[in-house]
C-alpha cells in the first residue's frame, strides 16, 4: 500500500518568479512606483501643467518567517543593501540606483500558522 502524501496536486498550478529572502519564505511581492505630484492651475481652475518629482519604488512583501535573523531583525528606517527579488529593473527602476530603506514591518504570530511578516522597502533612486 502506498504511503500517504502530504500534498497532492493536479492540473496547471501557476508558478512565480520571486525568490525567498534570507530567513523569509516569500508568499507575494508587490512593486509600485510613484512620484510626488504638483499641478499648475490656470485662472479657470483647470490644470495647465503637471510636474512629477521625487520618484520612488515601493516593494511590499508578505512572508512566512523561517528564522529570526536577516530582514526579520531590521529596524524601520534601516538601509537595505540588496533584495533577492529586485535583481533586475522593475517599472523603470534599476536595483543599483540610490538607496533602499526598510519600512513598516509587522510580525504576526498565531496558534494556527507559522509566524508571518509584512514589510515594505522603498527605493529612493537619487538618494546616495
Q: Is 3 part of any domain?
A: no
Residue at 14 is within a domain: no
Domain count, the chain: 1
pTM of the model: 0.83
Domain contains 60: yes
Query: Looking at the domain assignment, is residue 28 inside a domain?
Result: yes
Rounded Cα gap, residues 7 and 9, in angstroms: 7
**Does 5 reside within a domain?**
no
The answer to whether residue 9 is domain-embedded is no
Q: How confident is the model at residue 1 (pLDDT cuts 50, 70, 90)?
A: low
Q: How far apart are CA 29 and CA 96, in angstroms?
A: 19
| pLDDT tens digits, one per residue of 58-92 | 999 999 999 999 999 999 999 999 999 999 999 99
Is residue 102 assigned to a domain? yes
Residue 32, in any domain of the structure:
yes
Greatest Cα pair distance in the chain: 83
* Structural domain of 107: 24-124
Amino acid at each position: 500500500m502506498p504511503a500517504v502524501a502530504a500534498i497532492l496536486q493536479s492540473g496547471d498550478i501557476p508558478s512565480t518568479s520571486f525568490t525567498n529572502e534570507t530567513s523569509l519564505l516569500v508568499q507575494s511581492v508587490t512593486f509600485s512606483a510613484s512620484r510626488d505630484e504638483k499641478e499648475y492651475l490656470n485662472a479657470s481652475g483647470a490644470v495647465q501643467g503637471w510636474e512629477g518629482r521625487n520618484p520612488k519604488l515601493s516593494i511590499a512583501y508578505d512572508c512566512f518567517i523561517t528564522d529570526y535573523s536577516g530582514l526579520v531583525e531590521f529596524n524601520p528606517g534601516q538601509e537595505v543593501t540588496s533584495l533577492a527579488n529586485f535583481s533586475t529593473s522593475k517599472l523603470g527602476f534599476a536595483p543599483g540606483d540610490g538607496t533602499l530603506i526598510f519600512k513598516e514591518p509587522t510580525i504576526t504570530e498565531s496558534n494556527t500558522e507559522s509566524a508571518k511578516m509584512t514589510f515594505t522597502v522603498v527605493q529612493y533612486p537619487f538618494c546616495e
